[in-house]
Amino acid sequence: MPTTSLRTLQPRKTPVQERSVVTVDAILQAAIQVLVSVGKERLTTTLVAMRAGVSVGTLYQYFPNKSALLQASLKRHMHGVATSIDRVCKEYRSASLLTMGDALIDAYISAKMHNVKESAALYSVSSDLDGLAIAKAAGARGRRVVAELFATASEGLTKDPEIVATMVMAALNGVSRRLLEAKSPERELAPLREELLVLVRGYLLTCIATKPAT
């Protein structure tokens, strides 16, 4: 059973004039900013509205409740990452498996690291009952797309592309998370990225029948 009915989570009003589009955008941006600065526990709708430079009433014209607001913020973030992954999956179709791995790592890591604070703050939303479903769906979608990419690899796969995608994405998630909760993610980025390449390459090699000369 879902936490709230679907009806309750739909936007209350769809922006038609230009200014309201700006408003909705400002609210979503403000939500992230508040999330980053005070955390999910102390985030209030009034605070978000203030930060966005509008009144609470305005916020509630576009988001039926607090949960919907947070979910929308999370979706927006996830969408950004998904777009990066999708681009890679289109661009590297039929390439070699190792090339795909490298490209995925770059895309995923740089999308997450683009705004470290934001990515880190959203973990608290994605771990909640409401956010969990969104995170899971995004994960499943990413896995599916990457599995399809792997299926086109120039070398033949010795394993189910689904499971290969699962492992690669799990490793990506694990390392990203570790990176995001570091004191200084920027400092650790280079070495961890390098090592992640080694980890994934090593694994992908075991998924190929005939080893290429690398």
Partner DNA sequence: TGTTTAGATGAAGGAACCTTCAGCTTTGGA
Partner DNA sequence: TCCAAAGCTGAAGGTTCCTTCATCTAAACA
> Residue 171 gets which letter from DSSP?
H
Q: How far apart are CA 169 and CA 143, in angstroms?
A: 7
State in angstroms the smallest separation of the CB of 82 from DNA.
27
Q: Which residues in 41-60 contact DNA (CB under 7 A)? A: 42-46, 53-58, 60
Number of CB atoms found within 10 A of residue 144's CB:
14
Which sign does the torsion angle of CA 135, 140, 145, 149 carry? positive
- Cα distance between the two ends of the chain: 51
Helix (H, G, I), strand (E, B) or coil at 208: strand
Number of CB atoms found within 10 A of residue 96's CB:
16
Tokens of 14: 């769809």
Only one residue has tokens 């999370």, namely 74
Among 46, 154, 170, 187, binds a copy of itself (CB under 8 A): 170
124 in contact with DNA (CB under 7 A): no
40 binds, among a copy of itself, DNA, none (CB under 5 to 8 A by kind): a copy of itself
Q: Which residues in 54-73 contact a copy of itself (CB under 8 A)? A: none
154 binds, among DNA, a copy of itself, none (CB under 5 to 8 A by kind): none
174 in contact with a copy of itself (CB under 8 A): yes
Helix (H, G, I), strand (E, B) or coil at 157: strand
Among 23, 71, 84, 126, binds DNA (CB under 7 A): 23
Q: How far apart are CA 58 and CA 61, in angstroms?
A: 5
What is the H or E stretch that residue 73 is in?
Answer: helix 66-91
58 binds, among DNA, a copy of itself, none (CB under 5 to 8 A by kind): DNA
Among 51, 75, 141, 177, binds a copy of itself (CB under 8 A): 177
Among 24, 54, 81, 192, binds a copy of itself (CB under 8 A): 192
154 — phi, psi (to 5°)? -60, -35
| Closer Cβ to DNA, 45 or 152, answer by number | 45
Task: Catalog residues that contact a copy of itself under the rule CB under 8 A.
Answer: 3, 39-41, 123-124, 126-130, 132, 135-136, 139, 163, 166-167, 169-175, 177-178, 181, 191-192, 195-196, 198-199, 202-203, 205-206
Task: Catalog residues that contact DNA under the rule CB under 7 A.
Answer: 13, 15-20, 23, 42-46, 53-58, 60-61, 64-67
